[in-house]
Amino acid sequence: MAKARAIVKRRKAVRNIRKITKTMQMIATAKFQKSLKRAVGAKPYTVKLRELVTELAGSIGDVDHPLLLRPGSVGADGQPVPLTNRIALIVINQQSRPGRGVQRKHPAQGE
């Protein structure tokens, strides 16, 4: 009899695990669909932003700046441009923080 009871207990445990797994899959699907909907909704904004930046970059004339070069091309210093803009954004972010990168003189310091 102990064997039959153990089998029933094990089947119940497997059923519970199956329910939990199914619930987790449903939650993951819902989160993915929500993220996908947000990404698709942001597409018109990114397209318009790209058009605006392209127009602005074209109107400023002949400027040699690494952020305006296409990924994979070679910059003015002969160095390849990074494949992602993440590196450039990290550099700019570090330079803009007080105490890091470029040191700024504040008008309140009397200089």
**Range 24-48 average pLDDT:** 92
Mean pLDDT across the chain: 75
Residue 38, classed as helix, strand or coil, is: helix
Cβ atoms of 102 and 95 closer than 8 Å: yes
Q: In terms of pLDDT, which residue wins out, 20 or 1?
A: 20
In the chain, % of residues over pLDDT 90: 33
Residue 101 is predicted with a pLDDT of 46
Q: Is the pTM of this model over 0.85?
A: no
Give the pLDDT band of residue 89 (cuts 50, 70, 90): low
C-alpha to C-alpha distance for 105 and 68, rounded to whole angstroms: 28
Indicate the pLDDT class of residue 102, thresholds 50, 70 and 90: very low
State the average pLDDT over residues 12-26. Answer: 97
